[in-house]
Structure 1
């Protein structure tokens, strides 16, 4: 069964403000994500504000589809995303490809100077329809592959953000 929504959390020994400054700087995503290798603001002056657009470059190595076992070739592609929530110290979220997928981070104070950081991902109905148009009979396999990437990548990304924030 394909998962269309997933989240995971980590405790970071930094304030919500410090963590928010990190995760809302999309140009740093390539430091942490196993798939997203680089991001840049389409209008650098806009920065991390609701409505701002950015582009991301993603890469996957050759591998196997967890659902079918088929070999999946290496792939590189770019996406455009729009910031939909930019609430300092609380939440930073964006939608990919004008509403196909929603990604983001929620922040909650934890202890005196800590933050519980939750990364969330959801495949939206517009994305399911778009994948149907783009991939035809292979749409479900492609959606399952993206789901595998999200569910395996979020814990890796959170661990990398934690290590970066805490200087490990």
Structure 2
């Protein structure tokens, strides 16, 4: 069994502009309700064309009860189309998909708690696994719309 959630927002900016923002993981703390910051792991900094598939970055996450870091692997890096990463290389998949809509962009943020992630949580948390999974599902379901609104605000404010 896997858990998934996605939401969409329209942004008054081109897909290339939106992609440049959402693929810059070092800016994630500007819009994420849980991730306070990200940085590229040594040697994996993006090149002149931006991030690349196979690059790793670390993210710092914080809630009212704990702080933790995750490492993520860039899975898709298609300028103007999609940016996606896998937490711990396989446990959870996050993505931003972009499509042109008039002069703007329809941005979709997707989250998938994959079978490997569920198995990992059962191994790590034992009897508490389902409660931990439920927490993550609720965080994604409530956080994605907030994230999208903040990304829209950041991008559209830069145009003003």
On whether the aligned pair clears a TM of 0.5, the verdict is: yes
- TM (normalized to structure 2)? 0.93
Q: Which runs of 5+ in 2 are unaligned?
A: none
Alignment correspondent of 2:146: 156
Alignment correspondent of 2:126: 136
Deviation of the 1:95 alpha carbon: 0.2
1:69-119, CA deviations, whole angstroms, 9 ceiling, x for partnerless residues? xxxxx11000000000000100000000120000010000010x2000000
Which secondary structure state, in structure 1, belongs to the residue aligned with residue 54 of structure 2? coil
1:109-141, CA deviations, whole angstroms, 9 ceiling, x for partnerless residues? 010x20000000000000000001100000000
Matched, 1:86 2:110: no
Root mean square deviation, CA, Å: 1.4
Alignment correspondent of 1:102: 93
Determine the C-alpha separation between the residues in 1 that align with 2:61 and 2:81: 26
Which secondary structure state, in structure 2, belongs to the residue aligned with residue 18 of structure 1? helix
Determine the C-alpha separation between the residues in 2 that align with 1:120 and 1:135: 25
Deviates more, 1:119-128 or 1:2-11: 2-11
Determine the C-alpha separation between the residues in 1 that align with 2:61 and 2:43: 20
Q: Say if 1:3 and 1:147, in contact at 8 Å, map to a contact too.
A: no
Matched, 1:53 2:44: no
Determine the C-alpha separation between the residues in 2 that align with 1:3 and 1:146: 12
Which secondary structure state, in structure 1, belongs to the residue aligned with residue 90 of structure 2? coil
Deviation of the 1:45 alpha carbon: 5.2
Alignment correspondent of 1:8: 7
- TM (normalized to structure 1)? 0.89
